[in-house]
Structure 1
Amino acid sequence: MSTAPSEHTPLRTVVLAAGCFWCLDSIARRLRGVHRVRSVYTGGHGPATYEAVCTGTTGHAEAVEITFDPQVLPAEVLYEIFFSTHDPTSLNRQGYDVGTQYRSAMFYSSEDERGEFAAAIEQAQEHFARPIVTTLEPLGTVHEAEAEHQDFHSRRPEVGYCQFIIDPKIAQLRAHWSQWVKQDTPV
């Protein structure tokens, strides 16, 4: 676990999807102020297992639940990192991962959060020539992904997906967002 929450500031939890959850999970674990990261399935119906979600018939997205201290990591910074470490202009696809389960999405738990996410998308659009297709979806039931998907990159760095897909994203994070990267071990 990271440092204790700032005095009098409640932690926040957001659920974001950016393609395969292994990538965003690995990025979020490296950010200062992040206290908990959990790979999850949400946004659909029916079974929430890896096998079922991979069929593309459940409507669930591979997502990441991120609990953070907004006084250490402002939400706006988290959203900027989210948009800069995946392609939010690619519909239902991130690289070789194709299907609705790999969509770019922000799952809101209140109308205030929906407005905050919409503003983040509008601000991020300034940095992309193509339209952002990140969806705004109400947060429904969140299902924790299987244990083997939690902190996958740290546990299995030798896997080709980690070396060729996640490692470059981590390098990009360190190069462009170094002031927000933890100096200690990821969560």
Structure 2
Amino acid sequence: MSKIAVLGGGCFWCVEPVFNQLKGVTQVLPGYAGGKTENPSYEEVCGKATGHIEVVQVRFDPSQISFDDLLMVFFTVHDPTTVDRQGNDIGPQYASAVFCQDEEQREAVQNIIPEVERALGVPVVTQIRGADRFWPAEPEHQNYYELNPTQGYCQFVIRPKVAAFRDRFKALIKK
């Protein structure tokens, strides 16, 4: 039986390719959550008035990968210490957030944040939020990195993140 995790780690183009490579992950969809606008567009979210955060909805098999493992990857592939910012990407849509689908996920996030803070030596600003409506991003944002490998943002921002992830989490990568 699959479960869902909804994670906001900055630009969804950056986190989608990482989660797609994990054992036990059966689907990763970029999208939006946490705002007030129904069925928002990318342009509306980038306009910063919808309240939405760019997220990925990760469908996973907990018998193959745990939610805790997903969280360890999540806290490694983005900066959970900056408010509404990931590198040069600035705005409320780039907030670090976990939309907990149940109390078990909320407890897992609450337990891991102090570990991440100790490891980084600075406070974590990741929002712990409840389950919220997920709005899939437009088709052109799905599998963006895989479909646009020569695009500048993909080469200079996403590729290094994916490479660092692959080095650190070899045991969790699909064969």
Out of 102, 108, 120, which is 2:100 matched to?
108
Q: Deviations for 1:122-150, whole angstroms, at most 9, x for unmatched residues?
A: 22222111100000112221101000111
Residue 75 of structure 1 pairs with residue 75 of structure 2: no
CA contact (8 A) 2:81 2:124 kept: yes
Structure 1 unaligned regions, length at least 5: 1-9
After the TM superposition, list the runs of 4 or more consecutive aligned residues in structure 1 that deviate by more than 2 angstroms: 109-113
Q: TM-score, normalised by structure 2?
A: 0.95
* C-alpha distance in structure 2 between counterparts of 1:46 and 1:173, whole Å: 33
* C-alpha distance in structure 2 between counterparts of 1:126 and 1:77, whole Å: 18
Q: Give the deviation of 1:120 after TM superposition.
A: 2.1
- Equivalent residue number for residue 94 of structure 1: 86
- Equivalent residue number for residue 34 of structure 1: 25
- Equivalent residue number for residue 127 of structure 1: 119
Q: Deviations for 1:92-146, whole angstroms, at most 9, x for unmatched residues?
A: 0001110010000000122332222211222222211110000011222110100
Q: Deviations for 1:135-176, whole angstroms, at most 9, x for unmatched residues?
A: 011222110100011110001111111101110011101111
* C-alpha distance in structure 2 between counterparts of 1:43 and 1:121, whole Å: 20
Residue 17 of structure 1 pairs with residue 8 of structure 2: yes
- Equivalent residue number for residue 3 of structure 1: none
Q: SS of the counterpart of 2:36?
A: coil
CA contact (8 A) 2:67 2:105 kept: no
RMSD: 1.1
Q: SS of the counterpart of 1:127?
A: helix
Q: SS of the counterpart of 1:63?
A: strand
Q: Per the alignment, do residues 75 and 109 of structure 1 end up closer, same or farther by CA in structure 2, a change over 3 Å counting?
A: closer
* C-alpha distance in structure 1 between counterparts of 2:4 and 2:169, whole Å: 21
CA contact (8 A) 2:16 2:56 kept: yes
Q: SS of the counterpart of 1:101?
A: helix
Q: TM-score, normalised by structure 1?
A: 0.90
* C-alpha distance in structure 1 between counterparts of 2:69 and 2:170, whole Å: 12
Out of 152, 161, 167, which is 1:160 matched to?
152
Number of corresponding residues: 174
